[in-house]
Structure 1
Amino acid sequence: GKEKNFQGTHLPSISSNTDDLVYLDGSIFKALSNLDAKVFDSTEWTQVTTPLDYLGYVPNNTEILPIFDSADPSTVLDQGSLYSFGTKFDVTNNGEILTVIADYQDAKPKAVVIYRSFNGNYQRHQTILAPDPNIGFGDDICISKDGAMLAIGVPLDDSIKITQGKVLIYTQVNGEYVLNQTLNSPNNEKVELFGIKVAFGEDTLAITAKNTDFIGHTTFDTNLDPEAPLVPQTVFDNDFTSFAKLYVDTGTVYLYEKINDTMVYGQPLAFERVDSTTQNLSVSKFGTNLYVNENHVYIGLPDVSVDTNYIGSISDYRKITSTKIWEKHRVPKDTVDVHKIKKLFLYDSKTNDFITYLDYIDPIQGKIAGIADQELKYKLYYDPAVYNLTNEDLSLLASDVTVSNTNTWG
């Protein structure tokens, strides 16, 4: 929070106490003792060079710009035509990185502003501008707990289908956030508003598509009471036939999981509302409120009630702690770095006798048998030859092929 001893700009008419902080001529000074109201005397003050939080808020809309916050003027946000700041924001777990949405008028693009904390003083470090004013850029943002990834929702984007939306994933490269990945809706519908809400967990990213359709499946002879005896479910046509109903624009939350610094689609989350007559009912506003914490995904259902005394509820989706949405089916092994191999030989450790040198082969990495390699002047990883196939060649090939309409193949 704001440094409690900061008194603002130094005024000769105001006295100061020991350790009071004042601003004067581009610097912040600390009083060495109790001082009467008088003209500033540099021998009675010491200059503060370490950044500190002298305002308690961002952006800085004052004329107080000490050296550590104004040595580069870009550390203070441009506030010309700024009409809305902080409608959406997020912060890392340690509070070191703060991301905020800034809206401008007069055709200035919307911006995602990234602040970094220097001893509690948040200084603007980077600004990501909307590429188009009509795509909903920054309607929601979130930053991963460790600050490694930044997700920006763009729910009105038309690049694939009308107002389908997308989410932009930025990763840090040398301290700057750069675009690394674009996530599109797995459902591929029109007017989905994919990206209207985004929320990071530890390695999970939840994305709301507000208008995604939901297909509800009807089951038979299944007891809805989890404590009642299990009743086998009735299936039709060896489970080939199902009974389903399409609920339009109910919304879906898609879960992505971080795998090797890339967000990979994992699964959708939807809510199937059932009334006392076991009829599926439509749900609206699913995922408009979203929060992810460790192995839990909390989703607001403002139109769904479990009691007649109030409206709204929260659905908690969870997975087993430390488990992943994806399971590793097969993992490649690291290849041997053949450049580190100087030579191979057999050696008799009992008699301390050298026996012979050995050759080694790794054709995938271009290492062939030495006796052949010594005869080559250069090697390529592709066939440099160019092959031509003339009409005469095609005719010869066709004459050698016999097609049977009665015999089966394979």
Structure 2
Amino acid sequence: MLSAASRPYIAASVPVLREHGVTITRCFYQRLFAAHPQLKNIFNMPNQESGAQQQALASAIFAYAANIDNPAALAPVISRIVQKHVSLGIRAEHYPIVGKHLLDAIAEILGAAATPELLAAWAEAYGLLADTLIAEERKLYQAHGVEPGEYRAVRIVRKQKESDTVSSFYLQAGDGAELPPFQPGQYISVAVNVAELSLRQLRQYSLSGAPDSGYWRISVKREEGSPAGLVSNLLHDQFQEGDVLWVSPPCGDFVLAPDDMDTPLVLISAGVGVTPMMSMLHSSLQLSPQRPVNFLYATLDGRHHPLKRELDGLLMRHSQMQSYVAYERPAANDCVPQDYQQQGYLQLAAVPDALLPQNAAYFLCGPAPFMRAQRNALLARGVPERQIQQEVFGPSLLEHLQ
């Protein structure tokens, strides 16, 4: 617990962080990479260039300061940070390095306002957070049976085009052993050497297949002309069947609750956000054949509808399942109602009430604006907030704390 002496200084920092947070984090990363360039292998460098990483860290620091006496609010955020850190191979010895450069950045940007008392308070607050993260990450590494930063070799046994922009990679253990189990909704980090950056880069991809299929499957979207798609495009262009990838253990807490298999399930996604939903769908249909499942999906058109054939096959075989699809700009050969039911952005107000039961467990995945719109629409319909989960990374993870 933060000491009484430090608490007023952290509280007083909240408006300062709101105003100067991104400037502080920009300075922090400059200092960090100048002193420890090898850490660029862990961070998403295109996000550094775009400013997204600086914004994410500024949001995290602000949220921590604003909620330092509210552990219940911080707990879900800490849980997701721990999962992400384990997928990246963050080690205990990274924390003192980060702490030093963060405090140095605060001192540089705030100048005379960064009194010894303020810096001491932030050193204490950071130390408490670091201790919590280190302890929780150690437990998760032990549960996975791996050392921090230890990656597994997997072989691509099948590569399949799913749409104009998405391909699936079917993975099996490189040594022929059985891959460890995962929970539907989890992701893995994939490590790829990027020659143009002279760095190894890590990206997270949701597992899109059934947990008991005997393989892991990731379905990767090509991002033409986008720095954010650097690794994804390399996977599309340079990796073929028979090639080896290095991957993390399955991580993430955006998962189906194993003890809640009777409540109706509603899966709402857009774009490549369909991937964890397909894993959840397969799992629910296998483990709880009587559980009603409604699958709502939004994309551009039929050519950009990944895993459509697989979804249609499941619909034919499982009477407890229903789907509802929105195409933003349907192509000439996209047909109603065979291919889609709504034109334009997915509007829940136009979805039949039977597909949005009040007592359902709701899962959202897709671009942040999409998830925000669907969450607000569900709340407006009277769906309790506790029944809505969403998969988020970066700054949007902290929206409900700010």
Q: Which band: TM-score by shorter chain?
A: under 0.3
What is the TM-score normalised by the length of structure 1? 0.21
Q: Which has the larger radius of gyration?
A: 1
Query: Going by fraction, where is helix more abundant, 1 or 2?
Result: 2
What is the TM-score normalised by the length of structure 2? 0.22
